[in-house]
Amino acid sequence: MFVYYFIYSIFLFIMLLIYAPFYIRRMKRGSNYSPDLAKRIGFSLPVPRCKRGPRILIHSVSVGETRAVIPVIRELKARCPECEIYLTTTTGTGQRAAEQLGIHLDRILYFPLDFGFVCAAFLRRVKPDCICLTETELWPNFIRAASGYGIPLILINGRISDKSLRNYRYVKPFVRDVLRRFSILCMQSHLDAERIFSLGAGPSQVKVTGNIKFDLGHLHVDVGESGALRKRLGLHEGQAVIVAGSTHPGEEARIIDAYKMLLSEYPDLVLILAPRHVERSESIAKMIKESGMKSIFWSRLSENDRIGRGEILQIDVIGLLARIYSLATIVIIGGSFIPHGGQNPLEPAFFEKPILFGRHMENFRSISGMLTDTEGAIMVRDGNILPILSLLLSDKGRRERMGRAAKGVVRANQGSAGRTCDEVLRIIEGH
């Protein structure tokens, strides 16, 4: 098995060499997208405080995963107040999202680069009593190092995508060795459990605990706050708003074109665009200008600014999209009209919004299936959103039925955070 880890480490080193010039270029341009490489190597780790209780390290990748673990952290803090929670992310946006969570965290750190010596140094410094990795975060050298130190490993909200399943099968003995180092694998669904069994996980390791993203612990937008947002943007009561969330290249153009066509019938219609990566805002603004309309940036709105006819509001800050969904008449989910795998539709579902997405929802197949089966969402398979938008804008009753159905899916699937917390505390108490 050593050969697999050696080959993987060589491959990772080559990828790091390839990536280094791009990283340096971004740093010279002042981009805040790339994290501080020194922090990921572990050169600036803080000195740990004296431990009050068990120290739990939770790793999430970026913004979505970071928000998803909020209910688990809250459960752990409520049931084990003396525990310390260390949260790690791999991206700068994930770090900023973690800082804005509004919950107590003892440390926010960058996850180490997956080289054995880096991971070992990180673990010696941080000294966690338990490590929770999220979804598909299987970092072989980190997992091997933690296992070598006798630190229990837990996979929370685990899932195995179609692409991951295909790729893992090519190195199944390697993946089996990685999986067998976990104390427990908490999977989102029975399909995910079957897939991880097929990759070599042991029967006693796997438990279906559900998807913690249904618990939506970060959403606290009340009617008053939503009203204040509408007033801030100059939206009158009942004014229709389309929110296109977490969009990717190749999607904004079709959304802008549909919006232009709808303006002739709905002159007060507002479009709010929230690109998945906010650093794309300037290029999207150029696209909007070329289409004959004007772009407004949220970050540049003054107190007296209002959205005018044919003006498109761009959300160019992190952490605002969930609140913006509360304003929507209709929500379009990005990442689904191109072969990307889709983005999470649960936030608009929580706010009882009718949802549209394209056919590429592979990363959220179970959730999107529940939403379409209950008619809480529509999958636009051909990508032509104009007729569906027009239909929904003219049919308030259908919009309301879709919104109630979407909210029903969220309510019916909540509780995973508590079940996950049960497993984490069981492992800690038994260690």
Three-class SS string for 7-60? HHHHHHHHHHHHHHHHHHHHHHCCCCCCCCHHHHHCCCCCCCCCCCCCEEEEEC
CATH code of the domain occupying 36-216+414-430:
3.40.50.11720
- Full pLDDT tens readout for the chain, 431 residues: 888 898 899 988 898 888 777 766 665 555 544 446 667 776 667 666 677 789 999 998 777 788 889 899 999 999 999 999 999 988 777 777 777 776 788 888 889 999 999 999 999 999 999 999 998 889 999 999 999 999 999 999 999 988 899 999 999 999 999 999 999 999 999 999 999 999 999 989 999 999 999 997 556 666 567 778 888 888 888 899 999 999 999 999 999 999 999 999 999 999 999 999 888 999 999 999 999 999 999 998 877 777 877 789 999 988 889 889 999 999 999 999 999 999 999 999 999 999 999 999 998 999 999 999 999 999 999 999 999 999 999 999 999 999 999 999 999 999 999 999 999 999 999 87
- Same topology between domain 36-216+414-430 and domain 223-412: yes
Matching residue, tokens 């612990």: 217
- To the query of whether residue 400 is one of the catalytic residues in this protein, the response is no
Question: Token pair for residue 135?
Answer: 């979804």
> In the chain, what is the straight-line distance between the N-terminal and C-terminal CA atoms, in Å?
27
The full set of domain ranges for the chain reads 36-216+414-430, 223-412
DSSP classification of residue 213: G
Task: Considering the candidates 65, 135, 137, 347, report the single residue annotated as catalytic.
Answer: 65
Q: What is the pTM of this model?
A: 0.84
Largest CA distance in the chain: 66
CATH of 223-412, one of 3.40.50.2000, 3.40.50.720, 3.30.200.20, 3.10.105.10: 3.40.50.2000
Question: Token pair for residue 186?
Answer: 């908490």
